[in-house]
Amino acid sequence: MNNAVESREARVEGRPGNGNGDGHAALTLPFMPLLPWLRKISSKEEVAALAKVAAEDQHQIVGATHLAEKNGQIIGYASIGAITMLNVWADSKNVHARESAYLLNLAECTAAAMGLRTICLPCAAESPFLPYIDKLGYHRLGSATFNLKQL
């Protein structure tokens, strides 16, 4: 390995143990200082530091689980499995508005009964729910296009 390039140990979750009993594999990655890297957030102080950096870039953080770092600086985050995406559809020809709201509430209650604490509800611009989303207790995060990828 080139000594001019500093190496760093990274813990990779979900891999066979490295002998220290924590269930993590230790990897030495010589390219770490050159490329961004994700690592699991480990403290409230890290969340506060992330919030500060995000606010400076006029962004909010939503369900952050991992910090993105480059050269020792926070450059972003990832939310991996922290927030459940709730999708609800009701046939507009056979379901009245009150019934749709009731179905949404049933889905929310089911999520809560499963122990989930936060849900994200995508709502299309043409959805009849959109004008009422704030009254239903949702915080608008902004417009986005959702994309699906099978892994």
More confident call, 112 vs 34: 112
Query: Which among 123, 148, 125 is positioned nearest to 138, based on CA atoms?
Result: 123
Residue 14 or 125, more confident? 125
Tell me what the pLDDT averaged over the chain comes to: 82
Mean pLDDT of 104-133: 92
pLDDT reported for residue 29: 55
Secondary element (H or E) of residue 100: helix 97-113
Structure tokens at 26: 């230790």
Torsion of Cα atoms, 24 then 30 then 34 then 39, to 10°: 10
DSSP string, 23-91: S-EEEEETTTTTS-EEEE---HHHHHHHHHHHHHTT----S--EEEEETTEEEEEE--SSSEE------
What is the per-residue pLDDT for 143? 85
The reported pTM is 0.65
**Could you read off the pLDDT of 23-80 as tens digits, one per residue?**
545 454 555 567 899 999 999 999 999 999 999 999 989 999 999 999 889 999 999 9
